[in-house]
């Protein structure tokens, strides 16, 4: 298990002003897990993760210094009120195994992260995986977990057979999270097969602090999409672009929350997901990218790494997301993929990779100063 060292508990009592105000080093500090999320299936229909093109996309991400990859695989259920989980346009086992093997060839560790998503997101499209089971009876929960068990055990066996370092028990299943006894039984079954490290990818903003079974896994995982600016307006706050210092200050309320979890459960913390769109301030990533919005993405990457590398209980991150289509790079798309954008230069600095060639100074910001 990844236990919290006594020294980290002492250092965790240092003032937040120190944690947030630490200047970026000229040489970036060591980050244990320098990862990214690699997505195909529902996130990229046209290129599978384990195809020749998909593996080229994977390799391009390793060029900026990553030492870990989160392999995403998605199954489905019809809607939030059904109990059967099934394959849809799901990555094949061979595809996921190819990603695992390529990561290992690169000397990287793998987090295998199975997701459950909805085919029918309800009226207005407002339902998502976090709502699954919110109206369930006890009998329905029994049926849902009877379907979830073979799904997750399939990937537990795959993870063990192919030397995966870490497995996520669930991802953002907010309404299911309070089913403590069910999850403990599932985890006991997983441990009978998989001998690596277990985490759970809890959603930010409530699930992470309300979960009662962190002691059953080895690392506290958070999908850490905490808002660093006001998302209520119709337009991004790009005039002026929030500075790195402003965004670092916005992390200040979150630091003691996750430090407290680490202390309470004697576990380290990692970001199983986090990302910032390059074309908008909202997670929907619906706006085209501009110079200002790309700079905001880079500033958010820099602020996040500047703050959290100074927090002893934090062991690393898997940035969302590198898509399996190798042509999906460059500055024109407004999504979270950092490749070809100023955010890539930030990652290269913190991940210890050489700077990328730049057409001009505006596309590659100076970081670490």
Domains of the chain in sequence order: 6-363 (3.20.20.80)
pLDDT of residue 83: 99
Q: Which of 301, 293, 277, 297 is nearest to 350 (CA)?
A: 301
276 contacts 343 by C-beta, under 8 angstroms:
yes
Instruction: Provide the 8-state DSSP code for 214.
Output: G
pLDDT bracket for residue 12 (50, 70, 90): very low
pLDDT bracket for residue 10 (50, 70, 90): very low
Encoding tokens for residue 141?
């929960």
Q: How far apart are CA 156 and CA 158, in angstroms?
A: 5
Q: Decide: helix, strand or coil at residue 334.
A: coil
Q: Which of 138, 84, 87, 143 is nearest to 114 (CA)?
A: 87
pLDDT of residue 356: 77
User: Is 362's pLDDT higher than 50?
Assistant: no
Residue with more model confidence, 331 or 5? 331
- In this structure, the number of other CB atoms found within 10 A of the CB of residue 61 comes to 27
pLDDT of residue 325: 85
Q: CA dist 298 to 158, 214, 256, 307, 347, Å?
A: 36, 32, 24, 14, 9
> What is the torsional sign of CA 106, 109, 113, 114?
positive
- In this structure, the number of other CB atoms found within 10 A of the CB of residue 288 comes to 11
Percent of the chain with pLDDT over 90: 68
pLDDT of residue 48: 87
Encoding tokens for residue 92?
């094949």
pLDDT, tens only, 172-228: 999 999 999 999 999 999 999 999 999 999 999 999 999 999 999 999 999 999 999
pLDDT of residue 14: 32
pLDDT of residue 40: 78
Beta pairing class for 314-323 and 109-118? unpaired
The count of C-alpha atoms lying within 13 angstroms of the C-alpha of 316, restricted to the half-sphere facing its C-beta, is 20
Burial class from Cβ neighbours inside 10 Å (0-12, 13-18, 19+) for residue 186 reads buried
User: Is 93's pLDDT higher than 50?
Assistant: yes
Percent of the chain with pLDDT over 70: 81
Triad 70, 293, 204: Cα angle to 5°:
45
pLDDT, tens only, 292-335: 888 989 999 999 999 999 999 999 999 998 988 887 766 667 67
pLDDT of residue 240: 78
Encoding tokens for residue 147?
């379907």
Looking at residues 146-164, what average pLDDT do you find?
99
Phi/psi at 316 (nearest 5 deg)?
150, -170
Q: Across 39-43, 197-201, 336-340, 358-362, which has the greatest mean pLDDT? A: 197-201
Triad 179, 180, 185: Cα angle to 5°:
105
Q: Is residue 233 within a helix (H) or strand (E), and if so which, with residue range?
A: none
The count of C-alpha atoms lying within 13 angstroms of the C-alpha of 66, restricted to the half-sphere facing its C-beta, is 29
């Amino acid at each position: 298990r990844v236990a919290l060292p006594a020294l980290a508990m002492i250092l965790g009592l240092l003032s937040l002003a120190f944690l947030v105000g630490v200047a970026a080093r000229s040489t970036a500090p060591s980050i244990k897990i320098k990862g990214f999320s690699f997505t195909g299936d529902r996130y990229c229909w046209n290129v599978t993760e384990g195809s020749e093109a998909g593996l080229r996309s994977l390799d391009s991400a390793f060029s900026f210094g990553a030492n870990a990859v989160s392999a995403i695989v998605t199954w489905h259920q019809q809607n939030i009120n059904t109990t059967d989980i099934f394959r849809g346009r799901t990555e094949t086992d061979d595809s996921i195994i190819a990603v695992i093997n390529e990561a290992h060839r690169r000397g990287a560790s793998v987090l295998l992260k199975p997701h459950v998503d909805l085919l029918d997101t309800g009226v207005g499209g407002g339902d998502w995986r976090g709502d699954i089971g919110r109206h369930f009876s006890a009998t329905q929960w029994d049926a849902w977990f009877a379907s979830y068990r073979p799904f997750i055990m399939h990937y537990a066996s795959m993870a063990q057979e192919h030397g995966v370092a870490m497995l996520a028990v669930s991802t953002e299943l907010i309404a299911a999270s309070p089913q403590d006894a069910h999850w403990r039984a599932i985890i006991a079954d997983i441990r009978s097969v998989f001998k690596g490290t277990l985490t759970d990818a809890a959603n930010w903003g409530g699930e992470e602090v309300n979960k009662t079974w962190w002691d059953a896994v080895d690392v506290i995982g958070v999908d850490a999409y905490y808002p660093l600016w006001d998302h209520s307006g119709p337009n991004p706050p790009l005039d002026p672009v929030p500075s790195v210092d402003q965004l670092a200050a916005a992390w200040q309320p979150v630091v003691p929350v996750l430090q407290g979890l680490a202390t309470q459960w004697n576990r380290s913390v990692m970001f199983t997901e986090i990302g910032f769109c390059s074309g908008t301030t909202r997670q929907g990533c619906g706006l085209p990218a501009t110079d200002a919005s790309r700079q905001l993405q880079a500033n958010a990457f820099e602020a996040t790494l500047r703050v959290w590398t100074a927090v002893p209980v934090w062991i690393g991150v898997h940035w969302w997301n590198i898509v399996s289509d190798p042509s999906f790079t460059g500055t024109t798309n407004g999504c979270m993929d950092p490749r070809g954008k100023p955010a890539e230069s930030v990652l290269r600095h913190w991940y210890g990779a050489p700077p990328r060639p730049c057409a001009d100074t505006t596309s590659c910001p100076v970081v670490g100063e």
